[in-house]
A and B are shown apart, each in its own frame.
Chain A
């Protein structure tokens, strides 16, 4: 499961702890995600979302995607979540307000979520997946990421840059104060 960045060989001691790390990160992720469903307080939901994003970053670490894990922590947990907390702050008269949901609505929502999960599981089980043997695995280091981003993914990279500029101007225009 693990390969080190520099050597590409599998250290056995890391493979030993991988299941425990998986259990910890997956537990944090799933528990916090469902606590968002249960919680009624928007500030607590933002806090649980932070734990979910952190747990997902840990899972990225376990899947040899160290760069993505760092980006997840910096951009998602550090940027997007702060943006969401700002949104909570600016759009509520008191931060502890509760918006009521009926009980039957919750049952319908959780039922639909469970149905979707069941369908996805059925599709997953019925799909033959040929797992690779990891003998020609690319080194997922920062050098490969950079040359992939500026090689085959150059056009999406530039489009993303233009998109971010458009979003920045558009969001500033829409959220401006009309004094």
Chain B
């Protein structure tokens, strides 16, 4: 069969996507004022970690599936973290009538 493929997607291609997601997540966390937006940045970083786990599981250590299991637990923890964070944000919004994280400065020394 003649090869139509230009390249075979390997470990470094997937880790490259993961690095781009990590940088985007850090930028989101640093720029957004909306607390829910910051939560989205955290989700991006967690996804970057998940891609890394699955990629290294698939290309480096494929006689086990520990990486996939870790990613499964990352997804579970991300769901739990989102639920708790949103409960905190709702409390914050009820008390301060805003979701801007710059207004959450009552505890600052």
**Chain A residues proximal to chain B, CB less than 8 Å:** 1, 12-13, 15-16, 18-19, 22, 26, 29-30, 33-34, 36-37, 42, 45-46, 49, 52-53, 56, 59-60, 62-65, 67-68, 71-72, 75-76, 79-80, 83-84, 86-88, 90-92, 99-101, 105-106, 108-110, 112-114, 116-117, 120-121, 124, 129-132, 134, 136-138, 140, 144-145, 148-149, 153, 156, 160, 163-164, 167-168, 170-172, 174-175
**Once the chains bind, are B11 and A131 in contact (CB under 8 Å)?**
yes
Question: 15 pairs across A/B with beta carbons < 8 Å?
Answer: A15-B8, A18-B9, A33-B20, A33-B25, A36-B28, A36-B40, A52-B44, A56-B50, A91-B89, A106-B27, A112-B26, A124-B19, A137-B63, A171-B86, A175-B86
A residues less than 8 Å from B22 (CB atoms): 113, 116-117, 120
**Once the chains bind, are A99 and B33 in contact (CB under 8 Å)?**
yes
**Once the chains bind, are B21 and A29 in contact (CB under 8 Å)?**
yes
* Nearest CB in chain B: distance from A45 CB, A: 6
B residues less than 8 Å from A138 (CB atoms): 62-65
**Once the chains bind, are A87 and B44 in contact (CB under 8 Å)?**
no
Main secondary structure of the interface of B (DSSP, over half): helix
B residues less than 8 Å from A101 (CB atoms): 31-33
* Nearest CB in chain A: distance from B65 CB, A: 6
**Chain B residues proximal to chain A, CB less than 8 Å:** 1, 3-17, 19-28, 30-37, 39-41, 43-44, 47, 50-51, 54-55, 57-65, 68-69, 71-73, 75-80, 82-84, 86-91, 93, 99-100
* Nearest CB in chain B: distance from A19 CB, A: 5
A residues less than 8 Å from B71 (CB atoms): 60, 65, 68
**Once the chains bind, are B65 and A140 in contact (CB under 8 Å)?**
yes
**Once the chains bind, are B47 and A52 in contact (CB under 8 Å)?**
yes
**Once the chains bind, are A117 and B19 in contact (CB under 8 Å)?**
yes
A residues less than 8 Å from B54 (CB atoms): 59-60, 63, 65, 68
Known contacts A52-B47, A124-B12; decide if A91 and B90 are in contact (CB<8 Å): yes
- Contacting residue for B9 out of A22, A90, A124, CB 8 A: A22
